[in-house]
Structure 1
Amino acid sequence: MKFMLLAAGVLACVPFFAALKERPAVAELDLESKAAILLDLGTGEVLYEKNANEPLPPASMSKMMTELLVLDMVNEGKLAWNEQVAASDYAAGVPGSRIGFAEGDVFTVRELFEATAIHSANDAAVALAEHIGGSERAFVKLMNGRAQKIGLSENAVFGNATGLAREDLLPYQAAASDRDTMLSAKDTAMLAAYLLRKYPEVLEVSKRKNVELASASKKLNSTNLMLSGNTYAFPGNDGLKTGYTVQAGYCFTGTAKQEGRRLVSVVMGSSEPGQRFAETGELFQYGFRTNGLDGLIGHIQGRLGIENG
């Protein structure tokens, strides 16, 4: 009864709150990226979407699945943060963003995880995949199995631990899957939301501007230019994962929290490095300008069995 009274009270106040803080029209957002989505993590409400169901190459944003599997293993006691990992020839030779180590170099699981999450290091991701799965190809099976369990669409495909295109993996193509990684903006957002809900501690890593690797005497900077003090800094941003390949363009899965409300955004296929961050900022501004009331009302309507009409 108390819940129904609260629901009635909230619904009755809708005109008042609407007048107090008008929700901006979605038409105000004119994003140039190929696909995008914005959701409220607390309510699950999708606040904005553009081509959100179209499968596209996500580049390194797919490393969020690599991170998820590492966290699963650690939390299940099957992997330790201080466990030593020796780099293979393949891990040492994988192209793109990297730590830059040689075959046989040894790192801890924590160092490789942080290098993957903060610097988007491909060599670190491959080293983790081989250590956990025995081979990257076996690890990819774990990735796709996990994707099914968390409810990603049937079009979601993970081809390797890095998000690189197969053509970029020469001469190591056979080490991973026979397919390229493909995710829609919606699937990417669902993956990010699942990761944040299950392991919110990942933000303690993603919010850092750099990572220092004692094993390599190196300091690697974050690829997220929306963190405080950076060019595209946005208040409350503390993650989450960038991505770039020639095939994917510039991509970014972002998250920010203001006044207790957390948003998750995905931008895919930007043509310029800064565009992904600028458009993420537009999405966040739009999302935080709403007061969250629509999501609350939708939740209450669902609890009461009320359909929109």
Structure 2
Amino acid sequence: MKMNQFLRLALVTCATTITIGMGLWGQTPTVNASSSSYKTVSTTAIKKTPYHKSSTKGAVYNASHTKKVANLKTYPYTTWYATAKVTLKHGSSKALYYKVKNGSGTVSGIVWHKYLKAGTSPFGLKYAKSAVALDVNTNNNVWTKNANTARPIASLSKLMTLYLVRQKISQGKGTWSSKVTTSNAGLKKLGKSNVFGGFKFNHNSYTVRQLYLAGLIESSNNAAIALGQWVAGGSTPAYNKKFIGMMNNQAKEWGLKHSSFVSASGMEQNSLAPYGYSIGASKNANYVSASDIAQISRHFVVDYNDILTDASVKSMKVDGQTLHNYNNLLPGRKYYQKSLNVDGLKTGYTDPAGYCFVGTGRKSGHDRIITVVLHDENEFTETRSLMNYVYNQNLA
């Protein structure tokens, strides 16, 4: 985690006048170096009481106030639990501090009382730039953060692509066994890329089912593009452009107002250009809001519920190649929590998009929820926190 740096206060030994950083009473007093140390006057135990930061100022210090343990602004949604009142003397002044510890017990120390406010911290996500929690049953967003701001979404784009694959099959225009042409040199080159690859086109055709699994589980970019061309009725870059038009038309049909697609895979135009799949669009990336992604995901889960079976596969082989699912909230993975029953849905990452994740699960006695976090740094921990908050507050 990109959290706190440990900083030491300067201990000045010469008998000159120095300026102390933030004073006991929020001022910047000048004192003599001989009186610059903090002394504990008294410590009184209190009943464990929740507090949270009152502003962006302040810090947690060690018990002797010689070392800064953490800046409060780096813990915007943390509840601190006070167990004692501590009076410190600094020079001729006295001040009240609270002895505190965060809920996980990883950070503890003393905080000046004016920097804390009574009560538990309001819930929020520190890293995600946009986020949504959607109740699938009611189709209501039960928690949001910048929900309608369109952002690059990387491989979350594949949910729209794969939905349109399922739609074509359900309309009787293809089957799982239909053959998809994969002979395009650009797509074969893309599959071998160390950065954008993941499923190699070792043959000139694969079944729809094989490419669907490669696109969903491994997040194969060339598989998504090839499937898009198949949906559009051909196997050349011209059909890729036609398919992207179909993606945008579907978004409009659903009434999505913050969605614009230029890529079937979620790769940016400048990354697709070397493989012959940039469509020359004015926008470099797919821009979709968290709320719109939640709606696309809901349509998928409601219309083709078996996606949850496929999306919960942690790994499998197709054409002798291992498809790895990067969803770390699945059973046996690092961030798994049994009570959340997470069984999907899709990860994504590019430099412009950051880490993106659509999660879904259904806690016993509650509705299924879909969560979306965009441009995150800790997409799984924040998704898990969001899911727990929704269920603990009985929002779904």
Do these two structures clear the TM 0.5 threshold for a shared fold by scoring above it?
A: yes
- On the 8 A contact 2:186/2:276 being kept in 1, the answer is no
Mapped pair 1:140 → 2:244: yes
| Worse-superposed segment, 254-263 or 136-145 | 254-263
Percent identity (aligned): 32
Q: TM-score, normalised by structure 1?
A: 0.80
Structure 1 residue ranges (4+ consecutive) displaced by more than 3 angstroms after TM superposition: 172-177
Whichever structure has more strand as a proportion of its residues is 2
Alignment of 1:176-191 (within 5 A): 176=279, 178=281, 179=283, 180-191=285-296
Q: Superposition pairs for residues 117-266 of structure 1, below 5 Å? A: 117-133=216-232, 134=234, 135-153=239-257, 155-172=258-275, 174-176=277-279, 178=281, 179=283, 180-213=285-318, 216-235=319-338, 236-259=341-364, 260-266=366-372
Q: What's the CA shift string for 1:115-166, capped at 9, x where partnerless?
A: 111111101101111222122111101111111111211x311111101111
> Does 2:394 correspond to 1:291?
yes
Offset at 1:200?
1.1
Task: Please name the residue that 1:70 is paired with.
Answer: 165
* Greater Cα radius of gyration, structure 1 or 2: 2
**TM-fit CA distance, 1:31:** 2.6
1:99 matched residue in structure 2: 199
2:186 paired residue number = 90
Q: Does 1:48 align with 2:143?
A: yes
**Bigger helix fraction:** 1
Distance 1:243 1:35, change over 3 A: same
1:43 Cα deviation from its structure 2 partner = 1.4
Residue of structure 2 equivalent to 1:36 = 131
CA–CA distance in structure 1, aligned partners of residues 217 and 298 of structure 2: 18
Report the Cα offset of residue 205 of structure 1. Answer: 0.8
* TM-aligned CA deviation for residue 67 of structure 1: 0.9
- Matching residue's letter, 1:157: S
State the 1:291 CA deviation.
2.6
Aligned length: 263
**Does the aligned pair in 1 maintain the 2:132–2:143 contact within 8 Å?**
yes
- Pick 1 or 2: higher relative contact order, CA cutoff 8 A, min separation 6: 1
C-alpha separation between the residues in 1 aligned to 2:342 and 2:358?
A: 11
Give the drift of 1:30: 3.5
Q: Distance in 1 between matches of 2:176 and 2:362?
A: 28
Amino acid at match of 1:184: S
Alpha carbons 2:301, 2:307 under 8 Å: kept: yes
Q: State the one-letter code of the partner of 2:363.
A: Q
Partners of 1:230 and 1:195 in 2: how far apart?
24
CA contact (8 A) 1:255 1:264 kept: yes
Q: Counterparts of 2:214 and 2:327 in 1: how far apart (Å)? A: 13
- How far the C-alpha of 1:48 sits from its partner, in A, is 1.2
Give 1:74's aligned amino acid: I
**CA deviation vs aligned residue, 1:73-100 (integer Å, no higher than 9, x gap):** 0111101101122212222223514202
Deviation at 1:174, TM superposition (A): 5.0
Partner of 2:380: 277
Closer/same/farther in 2, CA of residues 26 and 47 from structure 1, 3 Å limit:
farther
Amino acid in structure 2 at the alignment position of 1:39: L
Aligned partner of residue 259 in structure 2, secondary structure: coil
